[in-house]
Amino acid sequence: MLLAVLKLVRVPNLAMILLTQVLIKYGLLDSFGISITLSGLGFSLLAIATICIAAAGNIINDIHDLETDSINKPEKVLVGTKIPFNLAYILYILLSIVGVGIGFFISNLIGKPGFSSIFITISALLYLYATYLKHIIIVGNLAISMLVAFSIIIVGLYDLLPVITPENQQTQSIIFSIILDYSLFALLLNWLREMVKDQEDIKGDYNAGRNTLPIAIGEKRTNLVIFLIGLLPLIAVVYYLYNYLFENLWAVLYALFLIVAPLLYFMIHIWTAENKRDYTKLSLLLKIIMLLGIISLGLYKFILR
């Protein structure tokens, strides 16, 4: 049962969220030695709140995905087989309450009680995504991608904004802009991955009456859309390298070989992808690229020497 629950909340995805936030906190912010709000305990609570809400979102998504999952990946269906429906709902409610509750506590701890609405909004949007938004073509993919991006931005909101003063405003703004750049990169990659997953799950989505992009315009045209959107993170990374990191050889090599090259590989192979196996491989590749992008957050302390 415990193993099934861990699979239900998608531990690897939660670990990636945690890794991202840890690297922002201790890899990026510490590298600049700037003013911060959260202590080690405060940051830990922020990470726990984020993970609880993300885990709750994964549960409610699986609950409402039973029809398509039973067709696309019947061997991976957990709710109603290994985990009773009632238990899944209880876990969803408990994790949501814990996440929002801790978010409320941290917001008051840093003197920004209004920030607690962020956790309430994210929790509500995850429920809305699982029950309604995912059924709307393009909108659902963008909505969940924005929420992924916000798991990055939230560290900047809680750690940087409360201690901005006229004296440190320029430095704080620069760091926050870096966090925004990474969140945009995560949004674009996750958007690509959601569209690839739509290609992967087209059979189950069609039988469930969903209107995803591949169902609406066909697989070949969707591959073209994915290719065109894939140009955005590729251009963004090259632009970032040229304008900010070109003087650091190791940073350039890291980005070229571990981010740009895999993205180019993805762009080439999305043209020829035509079956579930092809799309599964490309989805995994995007996840690896995102992980490599996240790891680069920990390199700033070496780049800035």
- Residue spans of the domains in the chain: they are 2-303
Helix, strand, coil percent content, the chain, rounded in steps of 5:
85, 0, 15
More confident residue, 173 or 91: 91
The amino acid sitting at 29 is L
Check pLDDT > 90 for residue 44: yes
- Measure the CA–CA gap between 13 and 4, rounded to whole angstroms: 15
Question: Is it the case that residue 51 has pLDDT exceeding 70?
Answer: yes
Q: What is the pLDDT of residue 58?
A: 93
Answer whether residue 305 shows pLDDT above 70.
Answer: no
Task: Indicate yes or no: pTM above 0.85.
Answer: yes
Straight-line distance from the first to the last Cα atom of the chain, in angstroms, rounded to the nearest whole number? 48
Confidence label for 281 from pLDDT (cuts 50, 70 and 90) = very high
pLDDT in tens, 180-236: 999 999 999 999 999 999 999 888 778 777 788 999 999 999 999 999 999 999 999
**pLDDT bracket for residue 118 (50, 70, 90):** very high
Q: Is the dihedral of CA 242, 295, 157, 56 positive or negative?
A: positive
Question: How far is the C-alpha of 96 from the C-alpha of 101, rounded, in Å?
Answer: 8
Predicted pLDDT at 146:
94
Distance between CA 133 and CA 212 in Å, rounded? 11
To which residue do tokens 């579930």 refer? 276
User: Given the structure tokens 């429920």, which residue do they identify?
Assistant: 127
Band of residue 151 on the pLDDT scale cut at 50, 70, 90 = very high
Q: Is the pLDDT of residue 48 over 90?
A: yes
DSSP assignments along 250-276, one per residue: HHHHHHIIIIIHHHHHHHHHHTT--SH
Of 57-61, 133-137, 146-150, least confident by mean pLDDT is: 133-137
pLDDT of residue 168: 80
Confidence of residue 303 (pLDDT cuts 50, 70, 90): low
Asked whether residue 304 carries a pLDDT value surpassing 70, the answer given is no
20, pLDDT greater than 90: yes
CA nearest 27: which of 293, 254, 216? 293
Task: Give the per-residue pLDDT at 64.
Answer: 84
| Cβ proximity of 36 and 163 under 8 Å | yes
For residue 6, pLDDT over 60 is answered with yes
